[in-house]
Structures are given as C-alpha cells and as structure tokens.
Structure 1
Amino acid sequence: MADSADRAMGDAIAGGRPGAPDRTATGKAHFEVLDGLRGTAALIVVLFHIQGITVKWDGARVVLHHAPLAVDFFFALSGFVIGYAYDDRWGRMGVGRFVSLRLIRLHPLVILGALLGLASYLLDPFAGQAQAVPLRQVLVAFALCLFALPSWPLPNRWTDTHPLNGPIWTLFQEYIGNLAYALVLRRLPARWLALLAGASGVALTAGAVMQGTLDQGSYWETFWMAPVRLFFPFLTGLWLYRVRERLPKVRIGWLPLSLAMLAAIAAPTLPTISGIRLNGLYEALVVILLFPAILVAGRHSEPGRGMLWLCKASGRISYPIYITHFPFLYVWMNFVANGHASQGALVAIGIALVPFLLLVAWMAHGWWDLPIRAWLGARLRRRG
C-alpha cells in the first residue's frame, strides 16, 4: 500500500512545497487525490480496529463492517501506480534495480513494524499469562516478520500468519505482486491483463461467496485467500493504467470519493438468503465495480479547494500508520479484555488513541522511514 513511486529522497525529506503537487524520483507528478484516498483507506482500517476492539468485536456494535476491503483498494492502487512509476523505465532498469527500489520504499517500515510488534508482545503489561511462550518461539516469529514472511501462530494472536504485527500479511502479498510485475506482468499487453483480471475476479467472487466475506487471508485457515485478494485488484489497477487514455475522464474530487468509499464500507452486514451469502457477494462487487471506478475518477480529479495539503499529508502518513498501529492495539485489546474500565472510559481512551497513533505514524515517517530511505537511496545511486 505504499505510495505511487520512489520520491527523490531529498524532496521527500523536505516534504515538498506545501502548495504544489509532489513529484516522484523521475519527476512525474503524483496523483494527489489517489494519495489522499490511500490515506482515507488507511484511517478507515485504524478506526475499524480501534472500535472493534473497544466493543470486543461484537458484530452488532461494530460500525465499519466492511473496512477490511480497504486492503483490496490498496492492492488496486498499487497496481496502478506501479505501472505509472515503472512501465516506461524498463530497458534502463533491470529486475535487480527494481527490487532494490521497492525494498527501499517498503521495507524500512516493515522492520519498524516488526520491532514494535516484538516489543508489544514481550512488554505488554496487560497480557498476564496469555502470552507466556518460550522466547525462542517469539524470536523465530520476529526473524520471519523482519522479512515480511509468515510464521506459525503465537498465543493470544488468533491464528494470524504474522502474529507480531497482523497487517504485515499485506506487505508479503505486495512483494508477491511486485515480483509478478517485474518477472511477467510488465511484459503482457493490456488484453492479457484484462483476461487475467477477469479470471481473478471470478475466483475472488467465488471465494467471497463461499466464505461470506472477503475478510480472509490474514490467518492460516484461509491463507489461500490472500493471493486471491491480491491478484484481481492488482491486475485491474495495472490494466487501468495501461488503458488510461481510453477511459472516461471523470472528475469528482477527493472528499466525494472518500465519502463513497466510506459509505460502501459502513453498509450493514448482509444475510444469507436461499443459500447465497449476500455479504460476500456485496463485498466482491465493491472490489470489482466500485474500487476501479474510484481509481479512474481519482486519477483525473483535483483535490478540491483547500484540500491539496490534506491529500498530501494523508498520503504520506497512510503507510506509516497502517504498519505501526496494530502493535499498540494488541496492548489495547488486552486492556479491554481485562474489564477493569467502564464503557465510557473505554470509549474515551479509544478516541484518544486516534491522535496518538497519528503522532506515532508521523514520527515513524519523519524520523525512521525518510532518513533510512534517503541513506539507502544515496548508496544505490552511487552504485549506479
């Protein structure tokens, strides 16, 4: 779910001019509305996790029922911006350099997320004996998490494939998509991408209807759904970039598109009727129809009056908050489970977690991600 390309490191650290669109490392303008929508999706995920934990995942009290679909939007956006950033660079750039650029862009925050996850598991004051496990087992999970690789579950972490920091499962899939692009997809014409996307859409719909939801792939029982969720949106995003000149130029704006995404995600959970799990069908249709439409409109839209700074800020903070928030929420989960606070106190603390997590993400972006990327980028440029 990282941003549209590898920004020039000096420009990234400076943050760009407040009133001007950001530029990529090759001088291309950012799609500021798409950056803002990535921030919208990331904040929806964070709010969903905070609110869900606060009500102990009581389905009747959960508000953003379909928030996990934000992950599918991230994958679609990733396919689009990978095509935008790299399609015209092959020939001057080999697979090795592409992989290096993507690791520089993505992996510093993966490592920070793993470190925060390890700290939250070992130092959680509210876990009691729920996380009593041999240190060696935790360190093995940590070592694998450093590389965004799945590991066997740990106690008090459900059956997550990445038990120290659950959202990292999407980065594992992101790397798969990036490698597929570098090795195969970049060579395919648009019509083949469309055919593959269509087949992937059938698989996505079948899996969603079978499971009753697309909130799958992050734990071992439905690990097979992770690549299913990756490939339709990723392929569709890449295809939409390739055929961009043939698509209608719809201009809506960041705020209306964010509201459309929020409305789809806040819709109630649908029942099963005549053996058809309508909830899964609804979620598949959101991913197959609505998200590509938002992507096409966002590509052509302007942020709106006074919204450019917000789109830029939310775009920059989206990946850091996504990758850093969950270790803190594991602690919040154990605090809530202890039942020592009233419901009013839980709501107040839950609300206070939002600015706290935004602050953590801002520090992660400015004090960890940008300096490390600048250093690594300089070394890569010296190597030629």
Structure 2
Amino acid sequence: MSGAAAGFADTRRHYPVLDGLRGFAALTVVAFHLCEAHAPNRFAQVINHGYLAVDFFFLLSGFVIGYAYDDRWRRMSLGEFFQRRLIRLHPMIVVAMLVGALAFYVQGGTLFPMIADTPLWRVLLIMVVGMTLLPVPPALDLRGWGEMHPLNGPAWSLFFEYVANVVYALVLRRLPNRMLAVLALLAGAVLVHYLVAGPNGDVIGGWSLEPVQFRLGFTRLAYPFCAGLLLSRVVRPGHIAYGFPLAAAILLATMALPRIGGPATLWMNGLYEAVCIVVLFPLVVWLGASARAGAHTGRACAALGGLSYPLYIVHYPFVYTYTAWTNEHHVSLRDGLPVAAATFAACVALAWLLLKYYDEPVRAWLTQRWMERKPALAAPAANS
C-alpha cells in the first residue's frame, strides 16, 4: 500500500531497489523449485540454496514493517494495522488456494498416486481452510509431503509472516532497541546452532505442523524478522551507485552456490548458510536501501516488486504439475528445460495477470471500503 489519502501525505524516502530485490529473489525461487524437480537429494540441486530466499524475505519484511509502521502507532490502532496487513496479503492467498485446487487433479501419476482417489469434498475443504491461512493437520495431507497447506506449499511462509505481524504489533514495536538487539542475538544464536550442529546442515523446512518442522519454521522466522526490524531503526542508508546490480549479484551468488560439503561434513554448509542469513542478507538490505535508482532502474524495480508476491504465492501449483510430469516420464533437467522454461513463463504471466486484474483492484476496493477517511501508510517496498 502506498500513496496518501484523506489529506495525509507521506514524504519519507521510498526504497524502490528493495522492491526490485524482492522480485529478483522471487524469480530465483521459481527457478530453484523447477530445478528441484530433477534433484535426487539435497546435495545435488541446481540453484542449490534457492530456499534461502524465504529467509531473505523474512528479513526484508522486518525492515519494511519497522520502517513503514514504527512511528505510526500514536494515530493507528491495532485493528487498523491488522486491516492494512490483511488488505495487503490476503487477496492473493485466497486466489492462490483456488489456483492450487484447480490444478490438483493433474498432478497425480506415479509420484502422487493418491491424488486420483482424493474425493472432491476433501480438496474443497482444504481449499477453504487454506483461504483462511490456518494450517491443516497432517491427517488432511493430500500428497504425502506433510505440508500445512497441501494445495499451495509456499503459503507456510505467509502463515509465519502473519505470526510475525501479530508479534510485532503486540510486543516487538514496544521494545527498545537494546532489548530488540538482545532478542535478535539470541534468535541468531539458535539459528546458527541449528545450522552448524543440527541434523541437516541447512534450513530446508518449516512447512509442516510436525513438531520438529514447526519449530524450524519459527527458527527461520525469528532472527531475520527481528534483525530486519532492528536494521530499520538503527542503520542509516548511504548513497551507493549501482546498488541494485551489486545487491542482486550477491543474492544470486548466495542462492546459486552449490552445496558445500557432503553427508559427513554437514556443518560446512550450515556455517555457509549462517553467514548468508546473519551477515550477507542484512548487507544486501542495506545496499538496497542505500542504492540510487535512476529512471530505468526504478521502473524495473517497480515492476519486479509488484510481481514478487503474486509470483511467489501462485507458482507452486505449476511446480507440483511439472514435478509430477518429470517423475512420470523420467525427464532429465536438460531434456525438460524447454518445458521448465515454458512453466516459468506461465508462472510469470499468471502472476502479472492476477496482479493487474485481481490483486490491485481488490486491494484498492478494500482500502476504499475499510480505510476510508483513515490516513494511508506509505510503505517502502512492494510487499509491505
């Protein structure tokens, strides 16, 4: 949400490059998930660390929420804050679950044989529950992956995004910077310990209500969100030329790097991911906030930022379908590349159509209906 209403204007600096970085990361996630369909295990993935985009999103979200809302609480109620967050996030959640349900029955075959026998009422029930973003229990799983949102797996991160918003509104916004720094330090220590001493040497997971996975979701959320919030309060952006290509290059390098070490040296990859999340991603956000955006860069970043959330939340039903096809026909990455490219393009096209003809109009209507005569809160990034 951006702009002004009811005579209230916001003259604070806008961060268009942060919008662009969010979109760039979303594109990388789609490519990672398509390549993942061909990976026999976590040690042989292409764009191997693409899942770290979620941790980057959490950090960027903390920064954006702090920047957009920290100084507004004297004239904004809790109800207004939650209304604004629902308007920003929930229309796409509803349509993403519908897309997942419409695509469900073409995702079967040898990979998901249970799909053919799944009754329609069960799919519709899970779709309706998913539209609320409430997790479904393992007993309602549809394909054996244990997802809390079986029709659209990445919605798990939006569930934790909502949790972060609630905790921010009730607790974190009230904390002085020193206490927030201590909290971020403790959360960072838990994250680093899990990565270096944990069972997998990575942060893959968080999408299931299974206790270990659910705790991992909170572990992935806590440090980045708190660190991003703290960053928005204490760090003053500079003025860096070519900040967008530099920050995007760092993001791509961190997410595309092959897995470090093997099954006997899990700590090596864990240490790498800890450095990425704890050190490099805050640096990327600072670079993005400090970057100078010319006219062409600004337009590109605006387009990427607008596309980022719709693309992230609607692409995975296509990935289910592509993964089922590659498994059914034993397709290699090389042979499947044309279909993967077409799937990628279809994801982008659908995301753009939904942004222009559904998300933006619906949010505008809801804003006018719910927030009429209330001051609008300009936000520095597309997904605020």
Give me the TM-score of the superposition, normalised by structure 1: 0.88
Residue matched to 2:380:
none
1:300 matches 2:290: yes
Bigger CA drift: 258-267 or 369-378?
258-267
Give the alignment of 1:118-137 within 5 angstroms.
118-124=101-107, 129-131=113-115, 132-137=117-122
Residue matched to 1:65:
48
CA distance in 1, matches of 2:327, 2:108: 13
Give the alignment of 1:76-91 within 5 angstroms.
76-91=59-74
Shift of 1:170: 0.6
Residue matched to 2:227:
236
**Alignment gaps of 5+ in structure 2:** 375-384
| SS of structure 2 residue aligned to 1:352 | helix
| SS of structure 1 residue aligned to 2:293 | coil
CA distance in 1, matches of 2:346, 2:9: 31
CA distance in 1, matches of 2:285, 2:150: 31
Alignment length, in residue pairs?
Answer: 364
Give the alignment of 1:196-215 within 5 angstroms.
196-209=183-196, 210=198, 211-215=200-204
CA distance in 2, matches of 1:104, 1:213: 33
| SS of structure 2 residue aligned to 1:217 | coil
Letter in 2 for 1:110: I
Structure 1, residues 47-105: CA drift from partner, whole Å, max 9, x if none?
0011121x244556522111111001001110111111111111110100000000000
Residue matched to 1:309:
299
1:141 matches 2:136: no
Match of 1:321 among 311, 331, 337: 311
1:109 matches 2:100: no
Residue matched to 1:163:
150
Give the alignment of 1:264-279 within 5 angstroms.
264-271=254-261, 277-279=267-269
Residue matched to 1:362:
352
Shift of 1:137: 3.2
1:225 matches 2:216: yes
Larger RCO, structures 1/2 (Cα 8 Å, 6+ apart): 2
Shift of 1:347: 1.3
1:7 matches 2:2: yes
| Equivalent residues of 1:169, 1:218 under 8 A apart | yes
CA distance in 2, matches of 1:181, 1:165: 26
CA distance in 2, matches of 1:148, 1:97: 20
Letter in 2 for 1:40: F
Give me the TM-score of the superposition, normalised by structure 2: 0.88
Match of 2:17 among 33, 47, 70: 33
Letter in 2 for 1:306: H
Letter in 1 for 2:217: A
Structure 1, residues 152-205: CA drift from partner, whole Å, max 9, x if none?
342425111211101100100000111111111111111111110000001111
Letter in 1 for 2:168: Y
1:368 and 1:28, CA in 2 relative to 1: closer, same or farther beyond 3 A?
farther
**Alignment gaps of 5+ in structure 1:** 1-5, 11-23
Residue matched to 2:81:
98
CA distance in 1, matches of 2:348, 2:4: 22
Shift of 1:141: 2.1
| SS of structure 2 residue aligned to 1:151 | coil
CA distance in 2, matches of 1:152, 1:7: 37
Give the alignment of 1:325-336 within 5 angstroms.
325-336=315-326
Quick one: percent identity of the two aligned structures? 39
1:240 and 1:201, CA in 2 relative to 1: closer, same or farther beyond 3 A?
same
1:305 and 1:91, CA in 2 relative to 1: closer, same or farther beyond 3 A?
closer
CA distance in 2, matches of 1:270, 1:330: 27
Bigger CA drift: 174-183 or 351-360?
351-360
| Equivalent residues of 1:141, 1:152 under 8 A apart | no
CA RMSD of aligned residues (A): 2.4
Shift of 1:133: 2.1
CA distance in 1, matches of 2:304, 2:4: 19
CA distance in 1, matches of 2:40, 2:144: 14
Residue matched to 1:216:
205
Bigger CA drift: 294-303 or 198-207?
294-303
CA distance in 1, matches of 2:334, 2:175: 55
Shift of 1:126: 5.2
